Amino acid sequence: MNKKKINIVDTTMRDGSHAVSHSFTVEQVSAIAAGLDKVGTAIIEISHGDGIAGSSINYGFSKVPEMQLIKEANRVIKNAKLAVLLLPGIGTIEDLEEAKANGAEVVRVATHVTEADIGIQHISHAKKIGMMPVGFLMMSHMASPEKIVEQAKIFVDCGAAYINLADSAGYMTPDDVRFRIDALVNHLDIPVGFHAHNNLGLAIGNSLAAVETGATYIDATCRGLGAGAGNTQIEVLSGVLQRMGYDTGMDFYGIMDVAENIVEPLMQRPQVIRSAPLMLGYAGVYSSFLLHTYKAAEKFNLNPRDILVELGRRKMVGGQEDMIVDVAFALSKQIKPFIRDKQS
């Protein structure tokens, strides 16, 4: 019997934006989007790493206005659905409408795993204007399966097309993923998706655990480009799922070529698990905190690992990037200066 269809959602030009300091150009977006579309990617997401309207002093400025990039992606995409991410409190209804006017068909409304209620109006409005709204629950390791189901139902009730569970810290193990995805699959009447980070080297394993437990939408990026140690590597995921008999609709050779010939040359550094990204996963810290933490560590002459441990202890969540400097300043008064080496 043929196995089920798995929809691959590429977030190279959204989560990957963190890894290149939001420096994507029109030419790069055009090449990546056209390549992803040609090889059969189901959904292609593009926006600032922290969602539409994320370009700011808090989260980092985009080199090119994101609406211009969305418009360019829409120009070259012929088959895939074009998506944007929206974090309530950063992006607004007006931003959402502008994204739609520039070609976005899907919006993934992302909230902390216990705060789905702040996304109700965005999900409802997206559905009203003819977009495909998705409920995106971040930092999902911080809530029990029962709590996640409760929050997911808030999104379902206001019109979400599917629920995407995000391991934003790259903290979870395959069993952690199975427990949460299984709870959603068994309590919801809409599809379930999963978004992994590779801070503990488990992105592919966790994505497979999600698929085997019933998830039908899986996020991934070319070369794993993304915050922290990156995301599930799309070309690897495509090959593994194909070998296992799942239908992704993707050209395996083609997606390898997009990753190697288009995305890899623009990467600012290899997407590997260095000490600080590893600490993100170990301490359960939001992956997009990494570059902010490096900057704070440099400013206050601290070991970035110490900052990340303290952020984890304080249970900081997405949207609190401005607190990283405060934490670093406090630590600088408590611990001795850090002697840097290439492993930090």
Residue 204 CA to chain centroid, in angstroms? 14
pLDDT above 70: percentage of residues in the chain: 96
Query: Taking 80 as the threshold, does the pLDDT of residue 319 lie above it?
Result: no
Q: Which amino acid is at 83?
A: A
pTM of this prediction? 0.88
For residue 111, what are the β-bridge partners? 137
Q: What is the pLDDT of residues 75-126, one digit of tens each?
A: 999 999 999 999 999 999 999 999 999 999 999 999 999 999 999 999 999 9
Give dist(CA 95, CA 89) in Å, integer. Answer: 11
Name the catalytic one among 18, 141, 197, 292: 18
**What pLDDT band is residue 344 in, cutting at 50, 70 and 90?**
very low
pLDDT at 260: 98
Mutual angle of helices 26-38 and 66-76, in 10-degree steps: 40
Question: Can you list the domains of the chain with their CATH numbers?
Answer: 7-266 (3.20.20.70), 275-332 (1.10.8.60)
Is 197 a residue of the active site?
A: no
Contacts of 231 (CB under 8 A, 6+ apart): 11, 15, 16, 195, 196, 197, 198, 203, 219, 220, 221, 224, 225
The model's pLDDT over 238-262, given as tens digits with 9 standing for 90+, comes to 999 999 999 999 999 999 999 999 9
Share of the chain above pLDDT 90, in %: 76
pLDDT, tens digit (0-9, with 9 covering 90-100), for 121-137: 999 999 999 999 999 99
Using CA atoms, how far residue 265 sits from 36, 84, 193, 283, 297, in Å, is 16, 24, 29, 31, 28
Interval 135-154: pLDDT, tens: 999 999 999 999 999 999 99
Tell me, what's the pLDDT at 313? 81
Residues 6+ apart with CB under 8 A from 290: 18, 227, 228, 276, 277, 280
